[in-house]
Amino acid sequence: MGALEEKLRQLKGVGDVLARRLVENGLDTYEKIVVAGEEGLRAVKGLNPRSVSAILAQATALSEKLSADKAERIAGLKQHVATLRETVQTCAASAKERFSEALKGKPGQKLTRTLVQTLDTLDKVEVKLHKRVKKAGKGLTKASRRMEKIVEADLDGVRKGLKKTRKALKRVLA
């Protein structure tokens, strides 16, 4: 039995066979069941006509609950992005203060380019949050851990740490 069918079995009145038939008819999520409505459910072979409205009501409730949970997670991830952006900017200010002499010339240009690329990637991740919630959560957590490590690093360590942070963020976009 697949994960989709297992999820559909949470609906009262839906067993193994009916879950399989729902998936075969393209009704593999609660949202799709709600969109199909009573007519779409009546077209599924073996579904008791008396249980159509009950299944539809349950699917509607579960669909709304899942939407609310996803909205909460997205809000949390947006907060995580804002915190990470602040951390990157604080790291840039700290590096500018600590390595002011060394940042003149090519090392400064490289660090600036890496900072800009990291912030651009962070902006792209923020745009994709609603589509890749789970992947974004993992990527942002990993990027935050990378940023914690570069607070006390030397100039080369800061740049390499920013590159690793960016790489963790790019995985969200892949």
CATH number, domain at 33?
A: 1.10.150
Q: How far apart are CA 67 and CA 130, in angstroms?
A: 11
In terms of domains, do 79 and 134 share one?
A: yes
* 75 and 41 co-located in one domain: no
Give the end of a domain, one of 38, 65, 92: 65
Boundary of a domain, candidates 33, 48, 65: 65
Looking at the structure, tell me whether residues 109 and 121 fall in a common domain. yes
Model pTM score: 0.68
At 148, list the tokens: 């914690």
The DSSP code sequence of the chain is --HHHHHHTTSTT--HHHHHHHHHTT--SHHHHHHHHHHHHHTSTT--GGGHHHHHHHHHHHHHHHHHHHHHHHHHHHHHHHHHHHHHHHHHHHHHHHTTTTTSSHHHHHHHHHHHHHHHHHHHHHHHTTT-HHHHHHHHHHHHHHHHHTTT--HHHHHHHHHHHHHHHHHHH-
- Rounded Cα–Cα distance for residues 144 and 163 (Å): 13
Residue 141: domain span: 69-173
Residues 97 and 169 in one domain: yes
- Give yes or no: residues 52 and 92 share one domain: no
Q: What percent of the chain has pLDDT over 70?
A: 99
Domain boundary among 65, 88, 115: 65
Q: 35 with 108, same domain?
A: no
Distance CA 2, CA 6 (A): 6
Asked if 162 and 77 sit in the same domain, the reply is yes
Residue 123 has pLDDT above 90, yes or no: yes
So what's the pLDDT on residue 63? 85
User: Does 45 share its domain with 89?
Assistant: no
The gap from C-alpha 99 to its chain's centroid, in whole angstroms, comes to 36
- Chain-wide mean pLDDT for the chain? 87
Q: Do 113 and 40 belong to one domain?
A: no
What's the whole-number mean pLDDT along residues 54-71?
86
Contact 33, 27 (CB under 8 A): yes
Is residue 40 domain-shared with residue 89, that is, in the same domain? no
pLDDT at 82: 93
Residues 90 and 168 in one domain: yes
Q: Say yes or no: 105 and 19 in one domain.
A: no
